Every structure is written in structure tokens, then in C-alpha cells.
Amino acid sequence: MKLSDYGSFPMELPVVIEDDIFLYPFMISPIFISDEKNTRAVLEAIEKNSLLMIVPAKPGHEGGREFEDAYDVGVVGSIMRKVSLPDGRIKILFQGMAKAKIIKELNNNPLEAFVDLIEIKEYNQLKIDAILAILQERVRTLASLSSIFPPDLLKTIEDNVDPNRIVDLIASTMRLKKDQAYKLFIETDLEERLLMLIDYISEEIEASKLQKEIKSKVHSKIEKINKEYFLKEQLKEIQHELGVDTQREEEIEEYFKKLEEKKPYMSEDAYKEIKKQINRLSRMHPDSADANVIQSYLDWVLEIPFGEYSKEELDINEVKKQLDKDHYGLEKPKERIVEYFAVKELLAKRGYKESEGKGVILCFAGPPGVGKTSLANSIATALKRKLVRIALGGLEDVNELRGHRRTYIGAMPGRIVQGLIEAKEMDPVIVLDEIDKISRSYRGDPTAVLL
């Protein structure tokens, strides 16, 4: 039946609210009905053999079944078929015929309204043809970038002579946002409708280009990762055939794990050097001499407690109490130590911070057995720091302090670094004991190292 066969507009019609999409004239769409109000509206249209108006729900109002939950425009059309589903829903096949606008709300259950058609204004055919050519070019561009337009739709658009139908067909395929679809739907100036749709398609073209570029980058990255994985698997098989122990791989992974944990607390140069040595080790045969040297170096350097610091609790009364508890007499040395920590506590309270890496040196002098080393032990206890004692008596080899060159078999770090590793923190109290008994020899002057 034609639209005119149902009578003249405006007319009273039952209204159904569709939650998801805008419907357009001359399109046949399946609609599923599950709520009472929509069901009653459908049954009334069938019973009276009348047209039905379907309006879209406003964004955020999906599921609402009152007039204020929906736009005041939609499509009037006929119900071609109704099927009752086992789950209680109704499926109808709806054919849109014309755009319409609600003039007056009449009934709330089911929704009924007084409806009139939306008419398109007259237009300049030459101007519209020129804009249509631009629109078709934009559609072809978008079709080349994405699968949004099937090939048969492109042919339909090119063959169709009604520009309004072309706009509706493209809009229904693009699935525009509801606010965009609403602006396009209510516009009665055909030229404005075409220009608006061209803008929407241009935005979609830019988005598709960006999406394609991102997909290309991701694909390239995945290919690179797959290639690296394939080569690593090949290398594993080769190493397995050569009898290389898989335990080596676990050791390398453990080195990398430790390095990444300590990265925030070490300098960039140190991080790069250690990473370089781990990569070198991963490429070496485990039985080579260089591999043992590098592995020994990594074992030591990754044991240094980067980022580990004691929770210093500087309390001048606690320092004085600890010194008096451990030592009888020694008033002047204890007084000098308390003075130093009093100044340090006062500066901290006033917001003055010590420069990073800047410690302090206290020199205790006196004959053996008067309590020099035990004073340092009391200071460490009061500050709740670890104590590291380095005996320098008779030391004559500078490598004992600096550390040996790692090219030597059995090379070890210097005693200060060993002390940090033993203390498991970067700010222990270090006692350089018997510093006056350092010797000189052909191996160097340790006092120069201490400078």
C-alpha cells in the first residue's frame, strides 16, 4: 500500500520507541519488541490496520518508554509481518515510508501521538548535482579505506536519482552517533543535508587513515617480534644440539631482572654498561674464559644494594644515651660526637638537606684499646645503621681498595664495595680502622686511593 492509502496527514498514530538506531524511509528493518508499551502500540497498529511511527530513544534514555525519553521525530511506515518468539518477544518487519514529526502527545499507554510529515524544501538541481559528485567521491575514498560500504551499496548510490534517498542510505550505513543522525534527520534543506554528510564522511576518512596507520605499525612490530622469537627459538635448538645448558638462559634472565629492578637507582652510564655486559655474556659460550670473567663481574655488580638505604632515626638524646651506655669516661670525644649530631639534627629540622652523596668523616685518634672502634659501633647503633669495619693495618696493595681489573681470574671489587654488599645498604657507618698503619710498596700507595 502507498502512504496516501492510509489517509491524509496529520493523523493519529501509535508510537514505538527504538533504543538503538535511527530508521529511514524506504528501508525494511526487523524490529524486536519486548516491553509492554511497545507491544501494545504494535498490536494496536495491526488491529486498526494503520501506520506505525517509530522514534529513536535519546542518548542515555535507552529503555525508557515515555515521550520525554525519545526524539520528537521518526519514521512512519507499515508492519509487513509479525512473528511471536518463544522467549515472549515480538519480531516485526517494518517498512519505512516517510519522515514525520510528533505535533501533539495524545496517549501514554500505548504511546499515541498526532503526527505530521516532514517535507524537504525546494532546491537547485544543478547545485545539488555538483555537491552530489563531491559526496560520491568522498564515499569512494572511504570505501577504499574501510569496509563500511559494501560494493553493491556504491552502485546503488551512483544509480539512485533521488538525492534525499542517497543521504538516508549513506547515513543508515554509517551508523552515525545519535546527535549527528538527529541533526541530519531534521534538516529540511537538501543542500545543508548533503554538506553535513560530507563533513561526517570526511571525519570518518581521517579516522580510518589514522586507524590504518596504527594497524600498519602494530603489524610491523608484531612481525619484528615474531622474527626475533623465531630466531631465538632457532638459537635455543642450536645450543641444545651443541650441549649448551639451558640453565644459562635462566641466569641471563635473572641478570636482566635484577638490572631492571636497580635501574631507577643507578646512573644511565652504569645501566648501559651492565646491560652491554649481560648481552655480551648471552652471546658467549659458557666455557670461554671471557664468559667466566664477565659472569663474575655481573655477580658482584648486581649485588651492590642500589636504592637500599637505612631508615635513619636521628635523635640526639638516643645518640648520647647509647654513647654513655657503651663507654665510661671519654667525655670530650662523646661531647664532640653529640655536638656534630646536634648540628645535623638542627639543620634537618630547619629544612636544610645534606648534598646527595656527601657524608661526613670523623677521625678518632689515640693508643690501642681506648675505644675508637667501639665509639663508631655506638654511633651506628644509635643511628640504626649497619656498621662496616675495614681493617687497613699493613695494607700495601691499592687494588685491595680500588678492586682488581676484571680481566684477571678471581678479580674482586674493593673492600669498600664489598662492605656495601655485606651491609646490604648504601649508607652504612664505615670504619677505616688502623689507617695510620697503611704501608707503601711497588704496588702503589693506598693513602692516595683514600683521597
Residue pLDDT, tens place only, 82-126: 999 998 899 999 999 999 999 999 988 889 999 999 988 888 889
- Rounded Cα distance between 23 and 12, Å, is 20
| Domain segments of the chain as ranges | 3-117, 125-210, 247-301, 316-450
SS (H, E, C) the chain: CCHHHHCCCCEEEEEEEECCCCCCCCCEEEEEECCHHHHHHHHHHHHHCCCEEEEEECCCCCCCCCHHHECCEEEEEEEEEEEECCCCCEEEEEEEEEEEEEEEEEEECCEEEEEEECCCCCCCHHHHHHHHHHHHHHHHHHHHHCCCCCHHHHHHHHHCCCHHHHHHHHHHHHCCCHHHHHHHHHCCCHHHHHHHHHHHHHHHHHHHHHHHHHHHHHHHHHHHHHHHHHHHHHHHHHHHHCCCCCHHHHHHHHHHHHHHHHHHHCCHHHHHHHHHHHHHHHHCCCCCHHHHHHHHHHHHHCCCCCCCCCCCCCCHHHHHHHHHHHCCCCHHHHHHHHHHHHHHHHHHHCCCCCCCCCCCCCCCCCCCCCCHHHHHHHHHHHHCCCEEEEECCCCCCCHHHHECCCCCCCCCECHHHHHHHHHCCCCCEEEEECHHHCCCECCECHHHHHC
Average pLDDT over residues 363-368: 78
Confidence (pLDDT) at 53: 94
Per-residue pLDDT band for 228 (boundaries 50, 70, 90) equals confident
Per-residue pLDDT band for 351 (boundaries 50, 70, 90) equals low
Q: Name the class of domain 316-450.
A: alpha beta
Are the CB atoms for 200 and 175 separated by under 8 Å?
no
Sequence-distant (≥ 6) Cβ neighbours of residue 151 within 8 angstroms: none
Residue 76 has pLDDT above 90, yes or no: yes
Residue 395 has pLDDT above 80, yes or no: no
Confidence (pLDDT) at 239: 65
Assign residue 183 a region (left: φ > 0; alpha: ψ between -120 and 50; beta: otherwise).
Answer: alpha
| Unique residue bearing C-alpha cell 677521625 | 363
Average pLDDT over residues 16-29: 88
As given in the structure block, the three cell numbers for residue 419 are 662492605
CATH H-level superfamily of 3-117? LON domain-like (2.30.130.40)
Q: Which of 27-31, 52-56, 338-342 has the lowest mean pLDDT?
A: 338-342
Average pLDDT over residues 356-381: 73
- Rounded Cα distance between 395 and 441, Å, is 10
Helices 316-326, 331-349: crossing angle, 10 deg rounding: 160
Confidence (pLDDT) at 15: 93
- Rounded Cα distance between 175 and 148, Å, is 10
Q: Which residues pair with 92 in a beta bridge?
A: 31, 82
Which of 132-141, 309-318, 394-403 is most confident? 132-141
Average pLDDT over residues 321-340: 78
Query: Strand 90-108 and strand 11-18: pairing?
Result: unpaired
- Rounded Cα distance between 305 and 204, Å, is 54
Sequence-distant (≥ 6) Cβ neighbours of residue 227 within 8 angstroms: none
Residue 139 has pLDDT above 90, yes or no: no
Fold of the CATH domain 125-210: Methane Monooxygenase Hydroxylase; Chain G, domain 1 (1.20.58)
Residue 355 has pLDDT above 60, yes or no: no
Confidence (pLDDT) at 241: 66
Confidence (pLDDT) at 244: 56
- Rounded Cα distance between 211 and 86, Å, is 42
Q: What percent of the chain has pLDDT over 90?
A: 16
Residue 220 has pLDDT above 90, yes or no: no
Confidence (pLDDT) at 357: 46
